[in-house]
Amino acid sequence: MAISMRRNLPERRATSTTDRAFDRLLPEALRRLSYMHWTPIEVAIRATTLLCPSSGMRILDVGSGVGKLCMVGAMSSEGLWYGVEQHETLVHTACELAGALGVADRTRFLHGDDLYNPFEVPLFDVDHGQHLLDFRLKVAGVQDRLAALPERARVVTLQGFGGVMPRSYELLYHERIAAAGLDLALWVQGAAARTITEPS
């Protein structure tokens, strides 16, 4: 499972030539969201090695946007990549892109609200007390979902998820990706996590 939170980001990340090539495949209106919202390819490749170390794994990207992480994952691993996204337009774009890139058989994109990013509520004209309450409820909901995942489930977070991982998880790997200014972490569920060794 992959969860990313874009908060406290550097002003504007430099984009690589491969990221710009990916952006050119997107409808123009979605391209301008890239630098802030879609995972840089370098980071997506690192996340793929953590989430999908062997063939036949199934990975869920919670908040999949235009499907960039799933697309990179499907092109660079032998797993089956699922994305769930709250904006239907983004789901359509992801499905079209997966077809164009030849990974439609290894990706699935679903439209839905999966409890994910509490900071996506409007920043203005809101009741801040209610906002804080909603945020805490959503984080608690995510924590409950994470705690219920089976033994050895892998969770990769990018900039955390707004809360603390349940105590049943082991932090197996952490990396600061300097070029992107992002923190990537791999958590594994359950006591068996201690027996897993991650390559550096």
Ligand X SMILES: C[S@@+](CC[C@H](N)C(=O)[O-])C[C@H]1O[C@@H](n2cnc3c(N)ncnc32)[C@H](O)[C@@H]1O
Q: For binding to ligand X (CB under 6 A), which residues are involved?
A: 4, 6, 37-39, 61, 63-65, 68-69, 84-87, 90, 113-117, 120
Whole-number minimum distance, CB 73 to ligand X, in Å?
9
Shortest Cβ 105–ligand X spacing (Å): 20
109 in Cβ contact with 67 (< 8 Å): yes
Give the nearest distance from C-beta 86 to ligand X in angstroms: 4
**Are 145 and 169 contacting, i.e. CB atoms less than 8 angstroms apart?**
no
Quickly list DSSP for 70-104. Answer: HHHHHHHSSSEEEEEES-HHHHHHHHHHHHHTT-G
Nearer to ligand X, 149 or 182 (CB): 182
Q: Quick one: which H or E segment has residue 29?
A: helix 28-31
Decide whether 59 or 115 has the Cβ nearer to ligand X. Answer: 115
The DSSP bridge pattern shows strands 80-85 and 107-111 to be: parallel
| Under 8 Å between Cβ of 148 and 157 | no
Nearer to ligand X, 38 or 173 (CB): 38
Strands 58-62 and 80-85: parallel
Residue 15 Cβ, how far from ligand X at the closest point, in Å? 13
Closest CB to ligand X belongs to which residue? Answer: 63
Shortest CB 198 distance to ligand X, Å: 21
As a whole number of angstroms, the distance between CA 118 and CA 131 comes to: 9
Query: By C-beta, is 87 or 145 nearer to ligand X?
Result: 87
Q: Which is nearer to ligand X, 46 or 68 (CB)?
A: 68
The count of other CB atoms within 10 Å of the CB of residue 50 is: 21
**φ/ψ (deg, to 5) at 28:** -55, -40
Closest to ligand X by CB, 117 or 193: 117
Nearest distance in Å: CB 38, ligand X: 4
